[in-house]
Amino acid sequence: MTNGVVSGIKDLGHRIFGGYAELLSIPHTARFTVGAVIACMPYPMVGMTITIAVQFYYGNYSLAGGLTAVQAIAGAALGPVLGTLVDRFGQRQVSIPTIVVWMVAATAMITCIKAHVAPWILFCIVPFLAATPPWGAMSRQRWTNLLRHNRGDVNRAMSLCGVFDEAMWVVGNPLASILAVISGVLAFSFTGMCVIIGALMFLTELTTEPMSQTRLAKMDGVSRAEFRRLEDEKAKKLRAETARLDARRRMTAEGASPEATKAAEQEAYDRAMAGKKESIWGPGLVAVCVTWFGLGAFQSAASISIVSFATEAGMKSYTGFVFACFSISSLTGALLYGAKNWTIPLWKRFYFCLAVVNLGIGTFLFARHLWVIMIIYLVIGVCQAPTWVNGNQLMLHLVPQTRFTEGMAWMGAMNSIGGSAGSAIAGVFIDRYGSHGGFSVVTILALVSLAIAFCGLKQIKTSTETPVLTELG
């Protein structure tokens, strides 16, 4: 009996983690994947640190919300620019100067907060904290470049990145809460150390770094614009071929005759080739970006409202652990989600997970204790990482292959803009009506976000009917 239980546990572990282990056994992949996650520590820590430190020194949630909003807006404006520069000139060439700017800004920011300077000075500094290289997009670009057009492995790699991202939030949120309460200097110092260590791990791994458009164009003896045009034409042909193979598999599974199968293949191929010229701003990408705006809005509003709720209850030091519960649950969801090769269409998985997260967070308005919020987070968190994984997979199908990092950056930018709007609005309502006012904003934003997402259902479904995985060069 004992041997059977042990064998069953091993088999279950192999089914869940075996695919991830195979990916990380590829030479050099573990180094850049882990390095990217460590370098991303400013994402979970800086916003929380600013909120707690500013509230402590200035006693004003509106100021804290305004500062995080400005940082998010600056990140939204800078993110696509950095993504475009990375695609054109290379990951190291763009990341190194960006890191230097962030380190200087972080030092100046915490020094000024402790000195209780005029708020306008903080607003002048905080935009430079958005100077963060698109580590997540660059890591995913390396994975897609390594795995080429292997759908199963690419999907699992996206889930693996989601697992590591959630691990970052599990560590980052409670650390930010604890360290910022002790000292804002300590919190920013730890974050800066993570940026340096992660950047060294990621940027010194040269064997997996994709070549920039500039280098590839130079090798082909053409301009960057001509190179992108040629790559877009190749992507269109690849999409058409993928559609033809999908049609063959579908007709074979249905037991169709060879003649009907051949006709379906040709129809799918012709339909894909008749599509419009490749553009990053197709209807599917627009729908996803608008959805990500709403997602960022209500989640950021929920975060600042939970901080206010915990402060009113005398439990502010526990806020990081509440957020960590959400991340732990999300990490579990990412592990399980990536372990399965899904046959359910991507758009159905995307909308199901999105609905669970939106409706779940919308119930915070009715919570009467911090632990109730924690339990809700634990329940709905299993769909959080899969929502982001699905969004990342949608990007593989929606943008031209030469602009993948830029497309990912736009998605993150819209999420940041939504986050800035959500935190700013929630901050005003919290100052006037307390945490209940903040949670009212959260519920309204969550419901509106879900409605907006379903308005894009037709576009997202259509855009993913003939998928193609992104490949550069």
pLDDT of residue 98: 92
Q: How confident is the model at residue 164 (pLDDT cuts 50, 70, 90)?
A: confident
pLDDT of residue 466: 54
Q: Are residues 254 and 316 in the same domain?
A: no
Q: Are residues 199 and 75 in the same domain?
A: yes
Q: 394 and 271 in contact (C-beta within 8 Å)?
A: no
DSSP conformational letter for 115: T
Give the range of the structural domain holding residue 256, as residue numbers without chain letter: 224-273
Q: What is the pLDDT of residues 207-262, one digit of tens each?
A: 888 877 777 777 777 777 777 777 777 767 776 777 777 778 778 877 778 888 88
Count the neighbouring beta carbons within 10 Å of the beta carbon of residue 230.
Answer: 14
235: Cα within 13 Å, side-chain hemisphere? 29
3 domain residue, yes or no:
no
Q: Alpha helices, DSSP H only, in 183-257?
A: 184-203, 213-220, 224-253
Instruction: Mark which of 232, 250, 273 sits at the end of a domain.
Output: 273
Q: Are residues 290 and 413 in the same domain?
A: yes
437 domain residue, yes or no:
yes
- Total count of residues recorded for the chain: 473
Q: Is the pLDDT of residue 442 over 80?
A: yes
Q: Which residue, among 105, 107, 85, has the nearest Cα to 95 in the 3D structure? A: 85
Instruction: Mark which of 273, 291, 310 sits at the end of a domain.
Output: 273
DSSP conformational letter for 313: T
Q: How confident is the model at residue 346 (pLDDT cuts 50, 70, 90)?
A: confident
471 domain residue, yes or no:
no
- Portion of the chain with pLDDT greater than 90, in percent: 3
Q: Are residues 360 and 392 in the same domain?
A: yes
pLDDT of residue 277: 47
Q: Are residues 86 and 116 in the same domain?
A: yes
What mean pLDDT is reported for the chain? 78
Q: Are residues 245 and 290 in the same domain?
A: no
Instruction: Mark which of 273, 290, 307 sits at the end of a domain.
Output: 273
Q: Are residues 293 and 261 in the same domain?
A: no
Residue 197: exposed, middle, or buried by beta-carbon count in 10 A (0-12, 13-18, 19+)?
Answer: middle
pLDDT of residue 471: 39
Q: What does the block give as tokens for 185?
A: 């200097």
427 domain residue, yes or no:
yes
Q: What is the pLDDT of residues 128-158, one digit of tens each?
A: 988 888 888 888 888 877 876 566 677 777 7
Q: Is the pLDDT of residue 275 over 60?
A: no
CATH code, domain with 93: 1.20.1250.20
Q: Are residues 200 and 239 in the same domain?
A: no
Q: Is the pLDDT of residue 473 over 60?
A: no
Q: How confident is the model at residue 85 (pLDDT cuts 50, 70, 90)?
A: confident
Q: Are residues 401 and 325 in the same domain?
A: yes
Say which residue, 64 or 440, is predicted with more confidence.
Answer: 440
Q: Are residues 266 and 308 in the same domain?
A: no
216 domain residue, yes or no:
no
11 domain residue, yes or no:
no
Q: What is the pLDDT of residues 411-427, one digit of tens each?
A: 777 877 777 778 778 87
338 domain residue, yes or no:
yes
Q: What does the block give as tokens for 202?
A: 């990621």
Domain count, the chain: 2
Q: Where are the beta strands (DSSP E) in 234-292?
A: none
Q: Are residues 269 and 308 in the same domain?
A: no
pLDDT of residue 5: 55
pLDDT of residue 279: 55
Q: Are residues 265 and 335 in the same domain?
A: no
| Mean pLDDT computed over 348-367 | 87
Q: Is the pLDDT of residue 465 over 70?
A: no
pLDDT of residue 470: 42
196 domain residue, yes or no:
yes
d(CA 409, CA 134): 7
Q: What is the pLDDT of residues 89-102, one digit of tens each?
A: 888 888 899 999 98
